[in-house]
Structure 1
């Protein structure tokens, strides 16, 4: 195993570290120089992965034995994902675009306000707001919720408002912003996560917002996956019917 590496080191072992980080979805230049960019990648990796005992890695920005082990072994299965406070924004070190993080902040505001259905399934003033007069009450409102969150961006709406998860994912894919399931991509705060649900025509597709990824677990904030806007937890390597992720760049 390579020796411990830290800021200022250089050489073939640093190149190997950079190659492993890139392969695990934390891309950076493979130049053999352990500079600030490499340290930031190590910090992000450590914040999202586990050691050989299934415990969270120490986040110190150094490639010690536990970090090397994690980089060179398959991610262990986490039986009991740690609970988090979904009302708190994820740390900046976990990444995400400015627009995505702004949309996530808007989503957390709705969650804290208790947004959701009132008076029946898919009904009430919150849901009418998310559906934006594009579908009747009673319709799935996950994509409307995500659209509403992004439309709160002070720089203006980054994409057309839609209440269709499949249409939204297609729109972002055409712009080159999507990452299909199976691609080597680690979702970041404010990204969209999209699932195929029941019907092939997309009527039951579902979309939510990524809160963050940590220890092999995806934390999300979603609407229409229950009566209220709320947080959910998924083990990354056990997600069924995942279509992929999308990151809205900018501004």
Structure 2
């Protein structure tokens, strides 16, 4: 692909900016590779790995390796020895509905679910988005959570505890309206829903995932659309600065 760099304009720059915004970088989509875009690219490069698992060159230019990493983000956060493909012990708690949804999330993770053929594309993404009426190309973190709870409800949207949605903050707001959200200081349990704001708090944008378990100050989750595949992530609970909160389906 053509090397993208500061000063260029065009549709490829617009696509680059759209991907960066989806990855939580606060910049306008103008089609102009300006200084704001340059800084966002450098920030991304400093935190991500290429297809070989090596650190990206932090030069603010988008060549084949950086473009691949933008579409298949692999962060430098190391997950340790947590096996997200194993269901957490009953001692960690969790509601029956939540644990059932989590089992489907784990099954998808173990099946290698994720994007194929480009950003937000492929048969897995289509499957999660289909009940919303949207096609591939849209962010799918909330649709993945919705799909897991749809399976837990026997495949019936009418029996789901919340409306199937492709909007992370829409799901969180539904849970809040039902009185199913938790205080940020409460300890999350397997199958709980965790939601973050993206770009800015007033933006209405968000990201969402399922709690795998919580232990010793660390929150372990399974999420779609944070990486290119359904994957497990770990967080220091007290340092989740963009956290909106948790929801627990009774």
Report the TM-score, using the length of structure 2 for normalisation: 0.64
For 1:29, the equivalent position in structure 2 comes to none
Q: Is the 8 A contact 1:142 1:224 kept in 2?
A: yes
For 2:113, the equivalent position in structure 1 comes to 115
For 1:63, the equivalent position in structure 2 comes to none
Distance 1:134 1:146 in 2: 16
CA deviation digits over 1:52-83, x for unaligned, max 9? xxxxxxxxxxxxxxxxxxxxxxxxxxxx9752
Q: CA deviation at 1:137?
A: 1.8
Do structure 1's residue 136 and structure 2's residue 140 form an aligned pair? no
Q: Is the 8 A contact 2:79 2:233 kept in 1?
A: no
Larger of the two Rg values belongs to structure: 1
Q: CA deviation at 1:135?
A: 2.7
**Moved runs in structure 1, 4+ residues, more than 4 A?**
none
- Structure (1 or 2) with the greater helix fraction: 2
Q: CA deviation at 1:202?
A: 1.9
Distance 1:209 1:140 in 2: 16
For 1:242, the equivalent position in structure 2 comes to 243
Distance 1:178 1:121 in 2: 31
For 2:101, the equivalent position in structure 1 comes to 103
Distance 1:224 1:84 in 2: 20
For 2:177, the equivalent position in structure 1 comes to 174
For 2:84, the equivalent position in structure 1 comes to 86
Q: Is the 8 A contact 2:222 2:230 kept in 1?
A: yes
Tell me the C-alpha RMSD between the 2 structures. Answer: 1.5
Report the TM-score, using the length of structure 1 for normalisation: 0.64
Match of 1:202 among 201, 204, 229: 204
Q: CA deviation at 1:95?
A: 0.3
Q: Is the 8 A contact 2:189 2:211 kept in 1?
A: yes
For 2:65, the equivalent position in structure 1 comes to none
